[in-house]
Structure 1
Amino acid sequence: MSGHTSFKIGGPADILVLPESIEQLREVLKVVKETVVPLTLLGNGSNVLVRDKGIRGIVIKLGNMLRHFYEAEDLLVFGSGYSLALASYKAMECGRTGMEFAVGIPGSIGGAVYMNAGAYDGEMQNIVNCVKVMDLQGNERVLTAEELNFGYRKTSLQNSGLIVTEVTLKMPSGNKDEIKSKMDDFSHRRISKQPLEMPSAGSMFKRPPGYFAGTLIDQAGLKGYTVGGAQISTKHAGFVVNVGGATAADVLQLIKDVQTKIKAGVGVELQPEVLVIGEE
């Protein structure tokens, strides 16, 4: 799985399937149902750490399917595999404001809804109108934003067995030049402050109430702290990067060390934002 995640870490999956259409996805789900094998669903693999023993059963990676887009009156409709960053540019082209925050977030728009991704005081929950989902029997239905029960980096989709196939967004009209200027500003901030040139899974820790995880880690003198091939980024302490040959065990030990140090120093319990999956 190291070849299928942005962290470039992870042991082997028993079976990896890369469906390219809804029909192919249904066929895979039919096999899963008939054979009763464990199933793991991935979007683009950008917010996940796969353990070193890999994943048993079938892994379905959805990032290379469902990349359609169309505009329907005041709504923007994206296939769940559409790049989140590219979707933000598409919203700008359509003169819609509210998605500027997503300009530099990696991954698919389906995965972004699943995790309620956000940045710069913006979140998916602010712009989602509804989503189309498929259950493990291959049946599709629509869930409203209210039914998704959005929270900080969570939704009711997690652990539901439902697969996001389409995302419908609703945003107010805005000035294209102002939207572009805001996106350019966010992009510049990301490039200058975040280790985008290194393999990572994005921001490692959730924001603790009243604090910023990266600031706490930096103040604790942990920038550059390394376990094996895993390192607290010297550019942004909120990121754990793979400096070369990192294992999941390295990352998990580093997370534990950071949690222990921050808890002892300021009494704050840091919680990982990244999804950890696979066999221990």
Structure 2
Amino acid sequence: MCATCGCSDDAGVRVTDPVAAGHDHPHDHGDGHGHGHREPDSRTVALEVDLLAKNDDLAGDNRRWLAEREVVALNLMSSPGSGKTTLLTRTITDLGDELPCAVLEGDQETLLDAERIGATGARVIQINTGAGCHLDADMVAAGLRALAPARGSLLFVENVGNLVCPALFDLGEAGRVVIMSVTEGADKPLKYPHMFRTADLMLVNKVDLLPYVDFDVEYCVTAARRANPAVEVLEISATRGDGLESWYDWLRRRAGALTA
């Protein structure tokens, strides 16, 4: 049991190569979050500290492993339905010839998003967390061993969709990207400040829908910078293409900074 968020331990975690799996979709589509409720006590606090300290040690190992291979890893986090997978498929399609890309895909169940990524030709490994609500450094280490990303490649880690627990766990990434959708509330950075406090970049996605939804971009950006004054912000549409060249330039700078 995870003392930090109450989700289940790694007994249900599966690391799968969707190409080698040899089947379409698992039959069990369970979506239980598994969060428990407990009274805080000194033992729980000690478990939280021990858990996060162990995770940070493993994240450091991942960071060294990636740096030795000049692989730039980016942790992509958001609420479900923000457009992470759509953005990834378009990014890989547009940049794949310039920057080799690979993906660790995190979801509680199914290979659906990994199959979408795999259709672009990029190498992808699915990590199913079962009842777990986030990826951790140990899961990513197992995924890296299965994925074996090419030297000098760009590695996207698509985290499990929620704005709480993924922010707590260092995976060994070189950067963090939070994706907001204009179909969400513009006050999300105020409600979930730790997620935005740890981000290097916030992407405001689906701006093509702004004429049809009640979303104040300026309010959202101000709220994000209240949590993190240094966070960069780009407004994009992964479907229509708005702002994607600025996103690609950001990726080029990140890749160049690590491999220079």
TM > 0.5 fold call = no
Would you tell me which structure has more helix in proportion to its own residues? Answer: 2
Q: Which of the two has higher C-alpha Rg?
A: 1
Would you tell me which structure has more strand in proportion to its own residues? Answer: 1
TM-score range relative to shorter protein: under 0.3
Q: What is the TM-score normalised by the length of structure 2?
A: 0.27
Q: What is the TM-score normalised by the length of structure 1?
A: 0.26
